[in-house]
Amino acid sequence: MPDDNILEMRGISKEFPGVRALDDVTFSVRRGEIHALVGENGAGKSTLMKVLSGVYPAGEYSGNILIDGREIRFKSIKDSERASVAIIYQELALVKQLSIVENIYLGNEIASRGVINWDESVKKAQDYLEHVGLKVSPVSPVSYLGVGEQQLVAIAKALSKEAKILVLDEPTAALSGGEAEKLLNILKKLKSEGVTCIYISHRLKEVFDIADRITILRDGKTIATRDKAELDENKLIALMVGRELTNVYPRKPHTPDGVLLEVKNWTVYDPDINKTIADVNFKLYKGEILGMAGLVGAGRTEFAMSLFHFWGRHVSGELFLEGKEISPRDAGEAIAAGMSLASEDRKRYGLVLAEDIKTNISLASLHAIAKNTVVNENEEVKSAEKYSKELHIKAPSVEQQTEALSGGNQQKVVLAKWLMTKPKVLILDEPTRGIDVGAKVEIYNIINELVDHGVGVIVISSEMNEILGICDRVLVMHEGRFTGELKIAEATQEKIMYHATGGK
Amino acid sequence: MLQHFRKYTMLIALVAIWLIFTVLTEGVFVSPRNLSNLFVQTVAVAIITIGMTLIIVTRNIDLSVGSVAAFVGAIAAFLQVKTGWPTPLAMTAAMAAGLLVGVWHGFWVAYRMVPSFIVTLASMMIFRGAVLGITGGATIAPLSDAFRSIGQSYVPPHLSVIIGVFAAAWYLFAHYYKRMLRAQYGFKVTPLLIDIAKTALMILVAAGFLAIMVHNRGIPYAVLLMVILAVVFNFIARQTVFGRQLYAIGGNPDAASLSGVNIKKQIMMLFAVFGGITAMSGLVLASRLNAATTSAGQGMELDVIAAAVIGGTSLMGGEGTIFGSVVGALIMASLDNGMSLMDTNITYQYIIKGMILLLAVWVDIATRQKQG
């Protein structure tokens, strides 16, 4: 008997300027199965689902999509919903101020002549909520619910649209163990009722618990589709990471010497997003590049931000810089003490886009180039030009607005800003995200040079190659805890992935 | 090219408005007497606009300026007229009151996270009430000669000329000094000839302005105050750590904060300073009216915000210049002045001012899009 495929995606390719995000991807899902889609960060899972859901409308990708054997061409999300595809995203698309029932029927109201029939809506919503095992009143506001319960509301909403294919993108990322288990049970129940489910997750244990088949993507290509029985965790990890190391990494031998920064019992909790950094302890040596590996959402960014009191409501722990305890209360004090953090999100936390290069570079060091609080503009231009030259920032002058620069050059401006503060500890969060290879190598060279001058550099990166290519030592984080420490000589992609998916 | 055009759009608009009124009033508009009046009329709004620019740059707003200006004027008038305090003392006390109001606003906005729109909307009511309380609902008048002189007197012509010469000398020196420093740093400097032509043009324009003033009765004290404030705040905005950080806060608060900018402290400071500026404007206003009235400064916040926006200040934050805002205030005052000279019905005055505000912002947005 031929496969009864509810969904077939054939030869899907999608390009962004400079990147081929999907390259001839083939992906088919059988009716009534739970099909897991796994891969590293940036493997193309989310992009593929956006193609499926019409976020990227027909014409913006190449290839064919067949649902129930019929070719479809979605022009918008509305179209895909009509074809019974429902996607539940990592960041939930619920309006927190509205009630559950209002959310479930938002954009899909039960109404006649524009007047909503609330009694009918509430009654039906009640049914869907029971279906997903949620025992709350449909009229209570979504903001009263925990993240796990909101997840279930999102599923109820999808069911209300009579979704036949349910796509869940990292649904358990923000859930506690108990909540996650509950969610998985609901999915199994829905499966028994004939709902087909595409399940994207970094948690391999869940994947093995719930999936019937698994498709692995890597670098925008389909690597394999296998029955669960054919795989175990190690085999799966090997398929996910098994790529050749490209040699763009200018590794230099460093000679770390003396403890520069020590973090003791660092614990952070933020009730708003139910995320915890628990009991982090580590040392950073002078002249060392320390990598922090892990999957997206592991808590590395939040940890770095919390050192600057930029994230987390309850922060505790001790911080020693060159043997002396420091307790910065905000970013200004941390910078003054000698720590700098270049954020992963350069548009949000890095640049003032409306301002020019020199103004951005000097922003964190204004006091250093000011006398009696009057900024020495000549000194500013001189410094900006010096760093511009050292970092090969490509722009007609330092008076160029940063908005007009390419991603790589913007990243270099951010880097220049932090170099100008003359940090002892420099934390780089995804320093090469979204920039081309040439600029990457230049940034690695700059990092190497800093390390030669005794700076301790922490590189947070989700790119395994980068971690293995430039770091001297690797810490791996999983759900707010360090689950492994590896010397670079013993580190492999498989070992890192093992720790990053929760193995200790 | 377009960028340069944008920078001077409003200046060009101002000149156009003056030309139109000159034609329509058969020259009365550009008579020295009227121009001198026009500048004096601009002062109260222009002074506050100078400060409001920085407030808006940081993504805040202050709706209470009219009430606070009236409040400050009422305190000064009350102390001077009713309790017989000497004028300088009464003014100092009034200035202190303005500063305190600013600190109050800063506290709520920066440290209690209440949106400035709400904080100052509350103050708009609170201080209008306070004005009624202080004045007992009646006008307090007349003020002493010394008090009146800030808004109504002129620097004697010969002294005006001396001030003008000194200002020109200082400008030349500062310009030359800056040029020298740039050369010392090894930067390219504009060719000497172009530089000379530019400075000469600036001095010529200023001299023309001075000549008009002197031809009338000299530089009005209030105008002198406005020019000094504009120069000082232009410097603060562009060249001090404080000013630079304000623009960064408005442009991208997250990035500014992670770069070590203490946002709370700077916003607090800005509102305190702005309280002082509002107080100065309040004193000029009372002095011009020669009285503290219950309705002084009503609707002023709208003129001020309109002037700042016409001058190119972005309500999204991070953008705006002191120079542009003064031009914006001049445009608003010119419309008032010109239409009054023509005896335009008040109905049309409002409508025309509203339309011009809309048009100005649209032109700004349209040219911006083309640029991007």
Task: Give the residue, A83 or B305, on which the prediction is more confident.
Answer: B305
- The pLDDT value recorded for residue B190 is 84
pLDDT tens, position by position, B268-281: 999 999 999 999 99
3-class DSSP state of A273: coil
- The pLDDT value recorded for residue A44 is 86
Residue A276: which pLDDT band, with cuts at 50, 70 and 90?
A: confident
Answer for the pair A67, A7: CB distance below 8 angstroms, yes or no. Answer: yes
Instruction: Say how far apart CA A48 and CA A9 lie, in whole Å.
Output: 9
Of A348, A349, A364, the CB nearest to B260: A364
List the single range of A18-27, A344-353, B51-60, B269-278 with lowest mean pLDDT: A18-27
Complete DSSP assignment for A291-312: EEEE-TTSSHHHHHHHHTT-S-
Tell me, yes or no, if A247 comes closer than 8 A to chain B by beta carbon.
no
Q: Do A330 and B257 lie within an 8 Å CB cutoff?
A: yes
Token pair in block for residue A453: 């001058």
Place of tokens 């007009």: A404
Rounded mean pLDDT of B142-166?
Answer: 93
List the single range of A117-121, A339-343, B120-124, B363-367 with lowest mean pLDDT: B363-367
- The pLDDT value recorded for residue B157 is 93
Which positions in chain B touch A310 (Cβ < 8 Å)?
257-258
Q: Do B241 and A370 lie within an 8 Å CB cutoff?
A: yes
Instruction: Say how far apart CA B140 and CA B138 lie, in whole Å.
Output: 6
Instruction: Say how far apart CA B260 and CA A400 lie, in whole Å.
Output: 23
Rounded mean pLDDT of B253-257?
Answer: 95
Instruction: Say how far apart CA B204 and CA B210 lie, in whole Å.
Output: 10
Smallest Cα distance from A363 to chain B, Å: 7
Rounded mean pLDDT of A267-285?
Answer: 84
Where does residue A280 rank: exposed (0-12), middle (13-18), buried (19+ CB within 10 A)? buried
Task: Give the residue, A318 or A408, on which the prediction is more confident.
Answer: A318
Highest mean pLDDT among A294-303, B274-283, B340-349: B274-283
Write the Ramachandran bin of A137: left for phi over 0, alpha for psi from -120 to 50, otherwise beta. beta
pLDDT tens, position by position, A472-503: 999 999 988 999 999 999 999 899 999 998 87
- The pLDDT value recorded for residue A245 is 53
| Interface probe, candidates B111, B242, B258, B261, chain A, greatest A C-beta count within 10 A | B258
Answer for the pair A307, A427: CB distance below 8 angstroms, yes or no. Answer: yes
Residue A1: which pLDDT band, with cuts at 50, 70 and 90?
A: very low
- The pLDDT value recorded for residue A102 is 93
Tell me, yes or no, if A155 comes closer than 8 A to chain B by beta carbon.
no
Residue B359 has pLDDT above 60, yes or no: yes
Answer for the pair B288, B147: CB distance below 8 angstroms, yes or no. Answer: no
Tell me, yes or no, if A268 comes closer than 8 A to chain B by beta carbon.
no
Task: Give the residue, A244 or A375, on which the prediction is more confident.
Answer: A375
Highest mean pLDDT among A162-171, A173-182, B84-93: B84-93
Residue B193 has pLDDT above 60, yes or no: yes
Residue A292 has pLDDT above 90, yes or no: yes
| Average pLDDT of chain A to the nearest whole number | 89
**pTM (predicted TM-score):** 0.85
Tell me, yes or no, if A381 comes closer than 8 A to chain B by beta carbon.
yes
Of A331, A378, A403, the CB nearest to B259: A331
Residues in chain B: 372
Tell me, yes or no, if A337 comes closer than 8 A to chain B by beta carbon.
no
Token pair in block for residue B260: 């070590």
pLDDT tens, position by position, B228-237: 999 999 999 9
Instruction: Say how far apart CA A159 and CA A108 lie, in whole Å.
Output: 12
Task: Give the residue from chain A lying closest to B251, CA to CA.
Answer: A352
Residue B171 has pLDDT above 90, yes or no: yes
Task: Give the residue from chain A lying closest to B316, CA to CA.
Answer: A354
- The pLDDT value recorded for residue A502 is 81
Residue B27: phi and psi, rounded to 5, are 95, -15
Preceding amide of B142 cis, omega within 30: yes
Rounded mean pLDDT of A263-274?
Answer: 83
3-class DSSP state of B368: helix
Q: Do A341 and B185 lie within an 8 Å CB cutoff?
A: no
- The pLDDT value recorded for residue B363 is 81
Q: Do B252 and A382 lie within an 8 Å CB cutoff?
A: no
Task: Give the residue from chain B lying closest to A370, CA to CA.
Answer: B241
Q: Cα(first)–Cα(last) distance of chain B, in Å? A: 14
Place of tokens 């999915």: A187
Q: Do A332 and B254 lie within an 8 Å CB cutoff?
A: no
Rounded mean pLDDT of A312-338?
Answer: 92
- The pLDDT value recorded for residue B372 is 39
Residue B1 has pLDDT above 50, yes or no: no
Q: Do A349 and B255 lie within an 8 Å CB cutoff?
A: yes
Place of tokens 């077939």: A8
Query: Is the Cα torsion angle A367, A372, A373, A378 positive or negative in sign?
Result: negative
Task: Give the residue from chain A lying closest to B240, CA to CA.
Answer: A374
Answer for the pair A389, A446: CB distance below 8 angstroms, yes or no. Answer: no
Answer for the pair B277, B50: CB distance below 8 angstroms, yes or no. Answer: yes
Rounded mean pLDDT of B300-309?
Answer: 94
Which positions in chain A touch B251 (Cβ < 8 Å)?
352-355
Residue A188: which pLDDT band, with cuts at 50, 70 and 90?
A: very high
Residue B324 has pLDDT above 50, yes or no: yes
Residue A364 has pLDDT above 50, yes or no: yes
Instruction: Say how far apart CA A482 and CA A504 lie, in whole Å.
Output: 9
Task: Give the residue from chain A lying closest to B180, CA to CA.
Answer: A378
- The pLDDT value recorded for residue B371 is 46
Rounded mean pLDDT of A166-191?
Answer: 85
Q: Do A375 and B248 lie within an 8 Å CB cutoff?
A: no
pLDDT above 70 covers a percentage of chain A that reads: 96
Task: Give the residue, B325 or A204, on which the prediction is more confident.
Answer: B325
Rounded mean pLDDT of B43-56?
Answer: 97
- The pLDDT value recorded for residue A440 is 83
Which positions in chain A touch B259 (Cβ < 8 Å)?
331, 335, 363-364, 417
pLDDT tens, position by position, B4-40: 666 778 888 899 999 999 999 999 999 999 999 999 9
Residue A177 has pLDDT above 60, yes or no: yes
The ipTM assigned to this model is 0.89
State how far the alpha carbon of B16 is from the alpha carbons of B3, B20, B23, B198, B335, in Å. Answer: 20, 6, 11, 22, 11
